[in-house]
Amino acid sequence: MILGKENRENLWEEKQVSRKTLSVKFKVFFDKSVSAVDTWRLLPPTLTINHDPWTLAIDGTWLHRNGVVMIYRDVTHHENLFWSYHLSESYEALRRDLTVLVELLGTRQPSGVVSDWKGSIVDGVANYFNHLPHQRCLIHVLREAKRWLPKRTPFLFTQELRSIALSLAQVKTQKEATEWKSKLIKWEMAYGHLLKEKTYSQTEVTKTGPRWWHTHKDLRRGWRLLTRQLVSILRSSESRINTQRQQLHRRSKFTSQKIPR
């Protein structure tokens, strides 16, 4: 159903509308396929009436080899704002979608963007929301961290970096972000030399000498994964703090109007 587990009785009570009004609003969904733009106009999302800051999430759901459905979601209010079907997550696909979405949003711009940092999404956000912090989805970060920093590793340095990586999900404030950064720096001071350690081949030779590779390749991948998130994490934390301050300011202003002095 369009509104999830909501039934007609819930809607009548919550929206204070009659059965006839609901029938008129929902009739279009049963007569034909409704686009995301039509849905926005028929059932405006919460952000159009609620002026609190909100966060935009962008992700693609692949239909095996039959294309991808792009989802643009207000994760603050748990609502899908826009969706579309494309053969791939191409730069042109993101450009077309964001052009429409920006027009629908008008002045109700998000306070930040979350995605998996696919190249086309990063480029699209940079072109249409370049003034906003763009954080990589923590689920994707943690998934990759677990891949490069295995749980059953016998190496203490990998175990410690994995622990730092998994604690990323608990970073909510500027103070916690600073503490997390401090742990990362301490790890680098203790084990940073391992990131540069090389193993040389005993049999293969190139023009410049013996063939070599980094001894701890997965460790390097895990390290780069976390250090790439650093600026994004700090900016995201700062954005959350500013959002909380704005909400507290509005509440205090409302309270001062209601309570006589």
Q: Is residue 7 part of a domain?
A: no
Query: What is the tens place of the pLDDT at every residue in 116-131?
Result: 888 999 999 999 998 8
Residue 131 sits in the same domain as residue 142: no
Out of 75, 110, 135, a domain closes at 135
Out of 76, 105, 135, a domain closes at 135
> What pLDDT, on a 0 to 100 scale, did the predictor assign at position 229?
60
Residue 142 sits in the same domain as residue 40: no
Of 42, 40, 99, 41, which is closest to residue 74 (Cα–Cα)?
A: 40
The answer to whether 12 touches 18, Cβ cutoff 8 Å, is: yes
Query: What is the tens place of the pLDDT at every residue in 96-113?
Result: 999 999 999 999 999 999
Query: What is the tens place of the pLDDT at every residue in 131-169?
Result: 888 888 888 888 899 999 999 999 999 999 999 999 988
Q: What is the C-alpha separation between 135 and 15, in angstroms, rounded?
A: 35
> What pLDDT, on a 0 to 100 scale, did the predictor assign at position 253?
40
- Render the burial of 161-193: b for 16+ CB within 10 Å, e for the rest: bbebbeebeebeeeeebeebeeebeebeeebee
Q: Has residue 232 got a pLDDT over 60?
A: no
Query: What is the tens place of the pLDDT at every residue in 217-231?
Result: 999 999 998 887 665
Collapsed DSSP state (helix, strand, coil) of residue 65: coil
Q: What is the C-alpha separation between 193 and 211, in angstroms, rounded?
A: 20
> What pLDDT, on a 0 to 100 scale, did the predictor assign at position 246?
44
Model's pTM, two decimal places?
A: 0.64
Q: Has residue 28 got a pLDDT over 70?
A: no
Question: Which segments within 75-174 are labelled E, that is strand?
Answer: 79-86, 112-115, 134-136
Domain containing residue 196: 138-258
Q: Is residue 230 part of a domain?
A: yes
